[in-house]
Structure 1
């Protein structure tokens, strides 16, 4: 256990992701569970079970965005094609076009990842670089365990921090696709 501002935080060792070399055709034949992404000819298999905090955060972000963007598409866990032979499975995406084949290929306006113990390094180290190079407009990183949300904007392939929301600063507003989005930590992650 470690302490963050007087709050006990259980620190668990991250489960390694399993990587299995396979073709795109083989990847498409995989079952829906366990969830997997495709990176450089390898399936990146995420073995972590869905947890309440993760699921709640994903649903709350969807509930926040849907009424604000009636002309766009708010989706969860839909494949996103990226440059350099990569297919990721973001937790939440905001797109302005519906893909013809079910996989998003045009850069989304925003991608959000809700961190889990098994995917933390993938979501905070590898994916940000891929998402920036893929032209994604904003990247929101949600940490339900540390109770923090970092909201990033793509500035010419580099991430620029728009706002950080945490227990000390629980609210912020960011502009996304011309709409002011209110971010309230307690609403999105609970008290």
Structure 2
């Protein structure tokens, strides 16, 4: 598989078996599967993306100790899709490592390379797949949008920005306080 370094995201036609074989190559293991195409992000995440991801995981783990908070785990979705979110919260641990039951929550930390993939394509797929909540943390715009699935679409549960940096969202019956300044330090 050849990725174009000047393109933020590459799409390559590939069989399901070839996709599974990719995961034997660690440098290619972050590839997603979308209806016969492998989606590869060519640019590694920047430092701020990593910091925001870790801080979001710490926040969720500390408030949701009875749930599983993970990063970059395969999520099988309807219509022949496999996605890797930045953060996922599940009630149970999947026996084979691939999440097939709709997660309680999926979060993406936006980057320039994946902004449209995360906000347009994945958003629709997550809603159709029954994901309970979709959180979009944007380090560049300094926002957090927590969205709830209303049966195939999203409704805003909370919107945080520098003018309104705190709030809370109920996740699986637990109130999770949010502070944008803790998630995205200046």
TM-score higher than 0.5 here? yes
2:71 matched to 1:76?
A: yes
Structure 1 position 48, deviation (Å) = 1.1
2:23 matched to 1:18?
A: no
2:125 matched to 1:130?
A: yes
- Give the CA RMSD over aligned residues: 1.2
Distance in 1, matches of 2:116 and 2:7, equals 10
Gaps (5+ residues) in structure 2? 1-5
Structure 1 position 100, deviation (Å) = 1.1
Matched residues, number: 178
Q: Is the 8 A contact 1:115 1:142 kept in 2?
A: yes
The residue that corresponds to 2:3 in the other structure is none
Distance in 1, matches of 2:21 and 2:85, equals 20
2:174 matched to 1:179?
A: yes
Structure 1 position 68, deviation (Å) = 1.6
2:15 matched to 1:33?
A: no
TM-score for both structures, normalised by structure 1:
0.90
TM-score for both structures, normalised by structure 2:
0.92
SS at match of 1:33: helix
Structure 1 position 33, deviation (Å) = 2.6
Gaps (5+ residues) in structure 1? 1-13
2:110 matched to 1:115?
A: yes
Q: Is the 8 A contact 2:8 2:43 kept in 1?
A: no
Distance in 2, matches of 1:23 and 1:106, equals 24
Give runs of aligned pairs for residues 90-109 of structure 1, distance below 5 A: 90-109=85-104
The 4+ residue runs of structure 1 with deviation greater than 3 A are none
The residue that corresponds to 2:51 in the other structure is 56
Distance in 1, matches of 2:21 and 2:165, equals 43
